[in-house]
Chain A
């Protein structure tokens, strides 16, 4: 409880933001991927409203290409905490002809999520979507506000962002607009892990070192799976790996690891010389990849 401890400062700030969301918006939702950042958000929301329940539902935009471990974990967490979970599927957007499945070597459903997300926001009339993005992840995210206003088309205008002064968050919007909220903006990857360790939070098993069938491409370790395109000459081997993020199987690369506990993961990250998104295949597409996706309404 003393403000000398850095992680407590971050926690206090995030709880404050959660409460501003509940107070300023009519229909907020917490975007939940089953990854470590959204698990952290759920704990922060629990803390913000105790002893009341979290006053908004969780929503998962399911690409259908998730690691099965993540989905199992998601369903267990929701049940244990008695939370409401909404799931919307990218497959439905594909079936409805709204988006087209990518094909070829680097095909991924990661980009397709945006359409499903925007449709779900419209369907439920959500006016605030809480997400686990952090400013340390990527250059374009470093400029993101805590309350980030999106227009009717879900788009981000990086040149016209509201200034955020002191602790004051301006959530006033017009009908049809919505706000993306990032309570852990100021956290780093290591902060998240330190917090998970301190709070003793459960996380999906793929974050820990395990044996997995993988193949190497462009210096990255890809998971061998039906959802990942693989050339015939790309050789599959078994390796001890873990994942640093839990995006889709088609856009998340593994890292070599023997870290089987959270404390080992924390020390591994402390010593790591590759950034978290260095293993995100979607960012390697171009230097401005993230910014372009954000303008289109990505998380």
Chain B
């Protein structure tokens, strides 16, 4: 069994929640009591069909306004995969939630209303999937029932979207188009009988066949030290274990390593997972390692292989998505959290703010408001050990914390 995380994006009323509800319904993932609640609520509102969006729209405010306002996580599984859907809202003011949902996802679903076609929001959704290097993007052209299941209309939308894709610099990205009707159930789980002209797979079939191993290539291993384990018991008197999660590759006993920032050399002596010792620590496993020699290592340090050093920098430029009510301003200071490593950062110049309609960039700006995206240069009080985001998803990203409010105010992708 494998897990696949999916982020959905669509504008208000594109039918995102309905699509998810349909996936749950047709895969028989809704339990009787949930189904009953949906039936009851749909009837109360006087709908003549089942309102699946009720399966996902959780908060009271959402039920009142009939829109999704925050990231909700929905779970279902088939015989081959476990799915986690991060249902993220699509309106312009909630870009931050979309970026959040996409940051932990491996697949993006972009919804388009067949009646409206490619609109400004579509550019934004695709751009965010690209910014976060989501390898598999599914473009679901929804509400096909409202355009008479027209092949011509579908092809028109596909061609419009292709123009957006052509401008992208992410060559390895897989983009798949599927015409669906979430409300009626066409091409979501069941093959549509009304669109025989479409020979591709249904949405679920496509998801089932995505190779999850192919999504992240193994590369340079990064082991940020989260916590130092010192039991101070009789049995483990001198034990010093470095606990952390392995990113980007594998660590092996005997590997020649360097500890940053001290650049001390050592070797991996043991790898523990709970009370068992292993030869190898797989990518994304939370292990504890010990080192051959007695070196001083603390939280925020990073263990890497000797021949795979990251860049050690106090100055760099990153693409920032701003997420806070308080604007980002050139010259202001933030706490920069890079993995588990915190340093102080001063904002330098802001260049190339991306226009909301993605028509181009704006130069000469000195502040960013919520949902703005721009290239920003930073200066740090201490170096961090970084990779470019394109090469290393986890080691190429960071968050900015406002020291006054403690809020997570922005996210950066290192260039």
Residues of A within 8 A of B (CB): 1-6, 8-9, 11-13, 15-16, 19-20, 22-23, 46-53, 135-136, 139-140, 142-143, 149, 158-159, 161-168, 170, 172-174, 185-186, 188, 272-275, 278, 287-288, 291
How far is B69's CA from A159's CA once the two chains are assembled, in angstroms?
A: 8
Closest chain A residue to B335, Cβ basis = A172
In this complex, what residue of B is CB-closest to A273?
Answer: B32
Cβ contact of B407, chosen from A53, A162, A164, cutoff 8 A: A162
Contact residues in B for A12 (Cβ distance below 8 Å): 245, 284-286
Tell which of B155-163, B228-236, B256-264 binds the partner.
Answer: B228-236
Which of B2, B61, B286, B337 is within 8 Å of A168, CB to CB? B337
B209 interface hit (Cβ, 8 Å): no
Q: Which residue of A lies closest to B412 (CB)?
A: A165
B96 at the interface (CB under 8 A from A): yes
Neighbouring A residues of B71 by C-beta, 8 Å: 143
Among the listed stretches B6-14, B175-183, B269-277, B359-367, which one makes contact with chain A, having 4 or more residues with CB under 8 Å of it? B269-277
The list of the 9 closest CB pairs from A to B, nearest first, reads A139-B58, A15-B286, A52-B231, A278-B33, A172-B406, A163-B100, A275-B31, A47-B274, A165-B103
- Cβ B340 vs Cβ A51 within 8 A: no
CB within 8 Å for A19 and B239 given contacts A1-B273, A163-B411: no
Known: A19-B286, A170-B401. A51 touches B31 (CB 8 A): no
Give chain B nearest CB distance to A46 CB in angstroms.
7
| Cβ 8 A contact of B275, one of A50, A140, A166, A273 | A50
> In the bound complex, how far is the Cα of B75 from the Cα of A164, in angstroms?
18
Cβ contacts under 8 Å, A143 to chain B: 58-59, 70-72
**Set of chain B residues within 8 Å of A49, measured between Cβ atoms:** 227, 229, 243
Q: Is the CB of B31 within 8 A of A163?
A: no
Bound form: Cα–Cα A154–B352 in Å:
42
Given the complex of chains A and B, what is the CA–CA distance between A274 and B339 in angstroms? 40
Between A and B, 24 residue pairs with Cβ closer than 8 Å are A1-B280, A3-B283, A9-B284, A16-B226, A19-B286, A23-B340, A50-B274, A51-B272, A52-B233, A52-B236, A135-B73, A142-B74, A158-B70, A163-B323, A166-B103, A167-B394, A168-B399, A170-B408, A188-B75, A275-B31, A278-B31, A278-B33, A291-B58, A291-B60
Shortest Cβ distance from residue A272 to the other chain B in the assembled complex, whole angstroms:
7
Could you say which residues of chain A place their CB within 8 Å of the CB of B235? 51
With a CB–CB cut-off of 8 A, which chain B residues contact A161? 70
Question: B393 at interface (Cβ–Cβ under 8 A)?
Answer: yes
Q: Which residues of A contact B82 (CB under 8 A)?
A: 6
Collect the chain A residues with CB atoms within 8 Å of residue B59's CB: 139-140, 143, 158, 291
| Cβ contacts under 8 Å, B56 to chain A | 139, 142
Are A274 and B399 in touch, CB under 8 angstroms?
no
Are B226 and A159 neighbours in the complex by a CB distance under 8 Å? no
**Given A5-B1, A167-B339, 19 extra CB contacts under 8 A:** A1-B278, A3-B283, A3-B285, A6-B1, A9-B3, A12-B285, A19-B227, A19-B244, A50-B272, A136-B73, A139-B72, A142-B72, A158-B70, A159-B70, A162-B407, A165-B103, A165-B408, A166-B104, A278-B31
A263 to chain B, nearest CB (A): 17
- B299 contacts which chain A residues (CB < 8 A)? 23
Q: Is the CB of B274 within 8 A of A46?
A: yes
B399, closest chain A residue (CB): A168
Q: Which of B312-327 contact A (CB under 8 A)?
A: 323
Q: Cβ of B397 and Cβ of A1 under 8 Å apart?
A: no
Contacts of B122 in A (CB 8 A): none
A290–chain B nearest beta-carbon distance, Å: 9
B63: Cβ under 8 A from any A Cβ = yes
Which of the four size classes fits the interface of chain B?
A: 35 or more
| Most B C-beta atoms less than 10 A away, residue of A22, A46, A186 | A186
- CB pair A52–B230 under 8 Å, yes or no, is yes
- Asked whether, in the complex, the Cβ of A16 is within 8 Å of the Cβ of B33, the reply is no
Q: Within the assembled complex, what's the spacing in Å between the Cα atoms of A15 and B60?
A: 33
Question: How far, in Å, is A30 (CB) from chain B's closest CB?
Answer: 16
Q: A51 and B236: CB pair below 8 A?
A: yes
Chain B residue nearest to A53 (CB atoms) is B231
Q: Is B291 an interface residue, CB under 8 A from the partner?
A: no
User: Binary interface profile of B, 83-106, with partner A (CB < 8 Å = 1, else 0)?
Assistant: 010000000000011011001100
CA distance A53 to B234 in the complex (A): 13
Complex interface: chain A residues within 8 A of B75 (CB)? 135-136, 186, 188
Distance in angstroms between the alpha carbons of A163 and B337 in the assembled complex: 13
A2–B284 Cα distance when bound, in Å, is 9
**B377 in contact (CB, < 8 A):** no
> Taking CB as reference atom, which chain B residue is nearest A141?
B58
Chain A residue at minimal CB-CB distance from B103? A165
Per the bound structure, the CA–CA distance linking A161 and B324 in Å amounts to 11
Of B97, B236, B280, B281, which one neighbours A163 at CB under 8 angstroms? B97
A165/B99 in contact, CB under 8 A: yes
Contact assessment for B233 and A163 in the assembled complex, using a CB-CB cutoff below 8 Å: no
User: How far is the CB of A206 from the nearest CB of chain B, in Å?
Assistant: 21
Residues of chain B within 8 A (CB-CB) of A163 are 96-97, 99-100, 323, 408, 411
The answer to whether B286 and A48 touch across the interface, beta carbons within 8 angstroms, is yes
- B67: interface (CB < 8 Å): no
Central interface residue in A49, A159, A174, by most chain B CB within 10 Å = A49
The answer to whether A168 touches B31 (Cβ under 8 A) is: no
CB of A50 within 8 A of CB of B33, answer no
| Closest partner residue, chain B, to A22 (CB atom) | B227
The distance in angstroms between the C-alpha atoms of A176 and B397, with both chains bound, is: 30
Question: B245: which A residues are within 8 A, CB to CB?
Answer: 12, 16, 167
Distance in angstroms between the alpha carbons of A162 and B324 in the assembled complex: 9
How far apart are the CA atoms of A283 and B32 in the complex, in Å? 16
In this complex, the member of A6, A143, A164, A274 whose beta carbon has the largest number of chain B beta carbons within 10 angstroms is: A143
* Chain B nearest Cβ from A259, distance in angstroms: 18
Q: Report how far A165 CA is from B272 CA in the complex, Å.
A: 27
* A20 pairs with B226, CB closer than 8 A: yes
Instruction: Give A280 Cβ to nearest chain B Cβ, in Å.
Output: 11
Contacting residues, chain B, for A53 (C-beta < 8 A): 231
Provide the residues of chain B in CB contact with A136, threshold 8 Å.
73, 75
